[in-house]
Homo-oligomer: A and B are copies of this chain.
């Protein structure tokens, strides 16, 4: 190992790792409640009983904290997922429905993603590339699942797979927004299931065009 030990890993104390995660959890909370632009380091710091300078000691800058928080969340989710193996093929669609159900029990998490993903399209937002990559990856995953499903069902891979993949992610996101605004009116899990089912079925057998319903 010629020159790899040069990379310092100063995070020796286990207490430090724990504190960092505390801060990251607080960041999820605050950025979810206030957005990135409007959330402050002082609020995050207060939640873990240190000063805002203490947070900067661990993460260097607000922007860096945001980025580390996003990858931290992703890693946590992937870790949970790896245990139960990454579901591909038609199981993925069931998994997405289960995800919607799980999400309906953790509004805080849903809110960070909803708020930050939309905020990420604003000028020079630090999370922009994160969300670009996220959606590219997720669309690829769903597209693969559709390929497997189509082959399984003996359907020659339709041209609608791309649209369907984007649409599934889109409904899930859009329903989360409406659910955050009207928790009482929107049944996140059941509605997500309905919509995903509708889209999956539309890929396998398209049904009539919208214009067919004109007049009578």
Show the binding face of A for B, using Cβ within 8 Å. 33-35, 37-38, 90-91, 93-94, 97, 111, 114-115, 117-123, 128, 131-132, 135-136, 139, 149, 152-153, 160, 163-164, 166-167, 169-175, 177-178, 180-182, 185-187, 190-191, 193-202, 205-211, 213-214, 216
Contact = CB atoms under 8 A, between A and B. Distances in A.
A206 B132 CA distance: 33
A200 B33 CA distance: 35
A93 B37 CA distance: 36
DSSP class of A's interface residues: helix, strand, loop or mixed?
helix
B193 A210 contact: yes
A122 B200 CA distance: 33
Contacts of A132: 181-182
Given A160-B194, A170-B172, A172-B174, 4 more contacts: A94-B211, A135-B182, A139-B178, A163-B191
